[in-house]
Amino acid sequence: MSQPDAAADLPPFDPQRILSAPFAERVRLACVTWANASPNLPSVMALYWIKYFFPLIGGWAFWCSFNADYPGFWSVGQWAFTAEAFKKAMVWSMFWELAGFGCGWGPMNARFDPWFGGYRHFLRTGTIKLPVFRGAPLIGGDTRNWLDVVVYGANQLFLLRALIAPEVAPWLLAPVMLTIPVMGVLDKTLYLACRAEHYFVVLFCIVFAYANDLWISGAKLVWCFIWFWAATSKLNRHFPSVIMFMMNNGPFFPKALKKGLFTSFPTDLRPSRLAALMAHFGTVAEYSIPVILVLGSDSTILTVLGLILMTGFHGFIGMNNPNGMPVEWNILMIYGGIVLFGFNPDAHLSALTGDPLLLTVLLLSLAVVPTFGNFFPSKASFLLSMRYYAGNWAYNIWLVRKGDTAKKFDKLKKSAPLVYDQLAKFVPDPQQLAVAKIMMTVSRFMHFEGRALLEALPAAVDDIEDYEWHEGELMGGMILGWNFGDGHLNGEQLLRAIQPICGFERGEVRIVSVESQPLLGPTMHWRVIDAVDGVVAEGRTRLNDYLGVQPYPTGRFAEALARDRGTAA
C-alpha cells in the first residue's frame, strides 16, 4: 500500500499506527522501518566476535597443544598449518556444532535467554526429536530416550578423546563413523547439526585414506564441491534479495550505500541493480575459487591469488553477519583452504583415482546427493544439497491462534521457552513487545522466497488477525534444540510429533509450509497444514510472476488478507 507522500512518510512510525493497521499495512511499515536503518548493535556483534576468537579459535589452539612435537604457542607458523592442526580443527568444529555453540546460537538468531539448546536439549530424555523411521520400536519415537542420550554423549566423548590425542589417528575417529549415522537415524536434527555433508565426509577421508595419504586430496575435493554447489545454488532470482538483506544488516557496509540496495526507497523495496550486481559478482567469485586453486596448483602466484580471493569471499560473508550466523563455518573454510591448497600443493585431486572406492564414496556424497537435492529439494536438506545461503530455502510459518493456544507449547520438555516469551523478559512494555513481534515478519517477506506467502496466507486461515505469527525456524530451534535454516526440521513432522503432547484443537495451529524452488524449476510448492486435519490447502507459486511485486502484501494480495475468507479448508 503506497503512501500519498512517501518521501514524507518515513520511520520512525508511531507504534500505535503500526499496531492498529491491518496486517498488510503492518508488514509494509515493518519492512520500511527495517530498510531505513541497520538493526545490528555493535555490542551484540562484539559478543559474537569474542566467541569466535576466544572459545572457538582459542579452544582449537589449546587442543593443538596436545600434538606430538608441539613447539609452543608462540611458534604459530610451525604448528597452526600442519596436517594435525587441520584435523583438530575439523574434530573441534564438529564437537562445537553438536554442543550447540555454532550456527543458530545467540541473540542474532532470536535466542535471547538462553542463547542455545544444543547439549542442554540433546542430553535430556523426553525432549522432541525427528527420527528417520518414525514409529519404529526403540529408534522411532518422537521423544528422546536413553539410547538417544547415550549415543550423542558417546559421540561427543569420542571427539574429545581425539582432541587430546598427540595424533588424530584413524582408530580414534573410527567410532565416530558409526555414531554419526546412528545419531542421524535417531534424530535427523543431529546429523545436520554436525554439518555431516562437510565435516563428516572429511573425517571419513581421514579414517579410510590415512594409510595412503590420500585424505588431503579427498578433503580438497570436499572444499571444491562446496564452492561449486554453493555457487550453482545462487543461479536463481532469490540471491539478490539475500545480498540486499545481508548488506542492509551488515555493520561494515557503508551507510551511504544502503538505500541504494533497494530499487527506490521507500516506495520500492525490491533489490536494486547494485544488489543484483553484487550477487552476480559473488556467484562468479565462488565459481572461480576452485578453478584457480585446482588449475593453478603448480603456480605459487595463482595459488596465492586464489587464496586471497577465497579469504576475501568468506571473510566478507562472515564480517556482515549473515542469517543463521554460520561464521564458524566460514572461518573453517578459510583456514582449511589455506592449509589444503596453500601448504599441500602436491596433493592433487587426480591422485584419488588410485583409490576407486574412496573416490566413489566421495562422488556419491559430493556430486550425486547434491545434484538430486538441487533438482528435488523436498527430498533432501539444503545442507546435504550444499545450497548454502542462496535465499532459496524451505521454510514454515506457524500461525498460532491468539489467546491461550501458545501456552500449550509449555507442555513440551524443551531447553528454552518460545521466542516471544524470551523476548518479553527484555521488552516489558506490551506495546514495544507487540511491535517487536511484527518486526519478526520482515526477514521472510524481504527475501524473494517470501512471495509465495502472498498466495498461501489467504488460504491458510479465515482471518489472519486472529493468529500470532511464529517463524518455523525459531519454533524448531526452541522445540528441537537446534535450527539453521532447514524448513524440513520445523514443518509437518514436527507438528505431528508435538500434537499428542500439546493437544491442539482444529484451527488452533496452522503451518504455512513452503518448499524451496527446484534448480531450473519455475515454482515454489506450498501447503497449509492444520494440527488436526493435516493438509487443508496447497498450491504452486510461479516466481517469475512476482518479479515486479513488492515484498509485502499490496493490491489484491492485501485485499485477499483483509476480507472474510470463510472456511480456509
Q: Is 74 exposed, middle or buried (0-12, 13-18, 19+ CB in 10 A)?
A: exposed
Q: Is 309 exposed, middle or buried (0-12, 13-18, 19+ CB in 10 A)?
A: middle
Q: Compute CA distances 189 → 11, 183, 385, 486, whole Å.
A: 40, 9, 16, 10
Same domain, 423 and 540: yes
DSSP type of residue 542:
E
- Distance between CA atoms of residues 388 and 232, nearest Å: 10
Pairing mode, if any, of strands 523-530 and 509-514?
Answer: antiparallel
Grid cell, residue 237, equals 532470482
**DSSP element (H, E) containing 64:** helix 57-64
Q: How many CB atoms lie within 10 A of CB 227?
A: 24
Same domain, 152 and 297: no
Same domain, 144 and 223: no
Residue 284 lies in a domain: yes
Same domain, 370 and 437: no
**Parts of the chain with a pLDDT under 70:** 1-8, 39-40, 563-569
- Distance between CA atoms of residues 108 and 433, nearest Å: 17
- Taking phi over 0 as left and psi of -120 to 50 as alpha, with beta for the rest, 45 belongs to alpha
**Three-class DSSP labels, 127-166:** CECCCCCCCCCCCCCCECCHHHHHHHHHHHHHHHHHHCCC
Same domain, 316 and 439: no
Q: Which amino acid is at 362?
A: L
DSSP type of residue 45:
H
Residue 57 lies in a domain: no
Where are the strands (E) in 273-370, listed by range?
A: none
Residue 207 lies in a domain: no
Pairing mode, if any, of strands 509-514 and 262-264?
Answer: unpaired
Same domain, 540 and 449: yes
pTM over 0.75: yes
Q: How many domains does the chain have?
A: 3
Residue 187 lies in a domain: yes
Helix 239-249 with 273-295: angle, nearest 10 deg: 100
Residue 276 has, within 13 A of its CA and on its CB side, a CA count of: 10
Same domain, 441 and 499: yes
- Distance between CA atoms of residues 415 and 118, nearest Å: 9
Residue 264 lies in a domain: yes
Contact 127, 143 (CB under 8 A): yes
From the list 561, 368, 301, the residue with the least C-alpha distance to 453 is 561
- Domain residues for the domain of 95 are 83-194
Domain finish residue from 362, 387, 412: 387
Residue 65 lies in a domain: no
Same domain, 471 and 556: yes
Same domain, 342 and 380: yes
- Report how far Cα 456 is from the mean position of its chain's Cα atoms: 23
Same domain, 291 and 382: yes
Domain finish residue from 387, 405, 435: 387
Residue 424 lies in a domain: yes
pLDDT score at 42: 74
From the list 490, 457, 450, the residue with the least C-alpha distance to 472 is 490
Domain finish residue from 341, 357, 387: 387
pLDDT, tens digit (0-9, with 9 covering 90-100), for 361-404: 999 999 999 999 999 999 999 999 999 988 999 999 999 999 99
Same domain, 256 and 381: yes
Q: How many CB atoms lie within 10 A of CB 402?
A: 10
Same domain, 460 and 558: yes
pLDDT score at 356: 96
Residue 4 lies in a domain: no
